[in-house]
Structures are given as structure tokens and as C-alpha cells.
Amino acid sequence: MIKELSPSIVRKIWGGIKLEKMKGLPITSQGIVEPIGETLEIYEKHLPYLAKFIDTSDELSIQVHPGDEYARIHENSSGKTECWIILEANDNAGVYLGLKPYVTKDELKSALKEKKAINELLNFYPVKKGDFFYVSAGSIHAIGRNITLAEVQQNSGITYRVWDWDRLDDKGVSRELHVKKSLDVINFDPTFNTTEFFRMKKGLLQIDGLNELCSHPDFHLFHLNLKKGEVYQRELTSLTRPCSILNLEGKIKINQTDVASYCAVTIENESQLSVAAIESGSLLLIF
């Protein structure tokens, strides 16, 4: 069965207008102009993963997600490891990911207490279309402004906000921080704050065929580029859970179902998968 999914729109003050244009979505909510921060594309309760599109006009908070064990004990939830595939980025846009070499827990704790700019303790990576990042639970991070990306993650909403750029809302109130829990779960080991650990890749949209991006117990992620007329086929009988496709660019036909750009499907109880490119483009396969 090929199940076509409808997105769930999440409006955020830091959101932008690119998702509205990409997906043909309304930009207003109940008569109030409100930017779209996320569209949840694959968010089935029975799946251990989910996928979304994110669009930013401002920096997101600097945050961290717990691993499975900590989340189970403290949140009665799974942890949250995620991946980013950059779809669009303005000049000079980038992401904050991981601590600079030898930043210690005490140093970060002191910087937070003294209300210093926490972003200065993190690595900043300029980004371009086609870049990939693996953001493991425990990795401190923030998506910068003017970036549109696809995110695949564990099916969890647990986020600990470390620092929020000293922002205040229209009532002069700052958002809640979760400093104690953040310090509990941030990975300070320098070997877990490197480009190698984040499995950074560039130019994904220029690489022919199928490319494995990461293998996690809750999601096995591949990126596939197809030229017009090409067909990708795979046997599915060995899978132990439904798979999903998040289409990034170009119209495709999945078995006998047409799927437009920036749309998603789940695939269940099918013995074979056939993806035919009606137009040249790219997609994510999640197993």
C-alpha cells in the first residue's frame, strides 16, 4: 500500500516564506500573517522516525536532544538523533554544530551563568544546497537564518533549549531554558564534536544514483538522484517496518502512484519498490 501523506503546518516566529512557495501553502493563519517554520511530512505514530521541511528567517535556539536512555528515564520518550539535508541557503548562511575544541562543561556552565554569547563556543559551518549533517543526540546545535532544509529524525519532540540569543517576546519575556538537563546530555568529548563525527557531506545533488547517508536503529537513510526516465527498484520483503519516501525535487511515480515535489508517502505491505523519474530530481528513502 502506498499512502500519500498530507503535511502538518507549524507556524513559527522564526519561520520564512519558502515552504509556502515550494508547497503552495497559504501564508496566513486566521487572517494573521504568520511565517511557516516547519511542515511535518512523515509523522505516523507507529513509525520510529519522522521527516519534515524547515525554513528559517532567524536563528533557532541553541539546543540539544537527549539520547534514548536519558529520555526514557526523564521524559518517558525515545531520544532524538536527527539529520539535515540543505535544500536552499542564502550567502553566508550556516549552522552551529558541536563545541569548539576543548570547551569543557565548566566553561559552558560559566558562560551561561555570565550571560555570554554561547554561539561563540560552537563550531559554525557555512552551508550550501546539497550539504548533509548527522546530528547525534548529545550534539549541541542551532540552525542559522535563511536556510531551508529537510530533516529526518527519531520520532521524538524532546528538545532542551540551552540559549536563545537573549531574545525577548513582545511582552519582554524570554523563552524557557533547560540548562540543567542540557548540561546532563551534551557530549563534551572532542572526538564527538568533529566534522567526521557529524558525517558531513557536500554536493549530494550532484552525485549519481543511490547514496547511503546514515544508519540508525530507528531509521536507515539514503539519498537518491534520478535523471528523467530512470527507474530505481528494490525488493522490500526483508524489511521489518514500513519505509517512506520524502520527495525533494522532480515528479516521480512510486509503483503506480504519482508523487509531486516536496511530498511524502509511506510504503507498507508491498513486496517491490519501483521509483520512476517523470522529471529529473532527488529524493530521500527511509527504511
Active site residues: 161
Sheet strands (E) in 111-171: 122-126, 132-135, 141-143, 147-154, 160-163
| Three-state DSSP state, 146 | coil
Give the helix/strand (H/E) hosting 29: strand 28-29
Q: How many CB atoms are located within 10 Å of the residue 180 CB? A: 9
**DSSP calls for 168-236:** --TTS-PPP--HHHHHHH----GGGSSTTTTT-B--GGGS-EEEEEEEETTEEEEEEEE-TT-EEEEE-
- The torsion angle over the Cα atoms of residues 21, 25, 28 and 30, rounded to 10 degrees, is 180
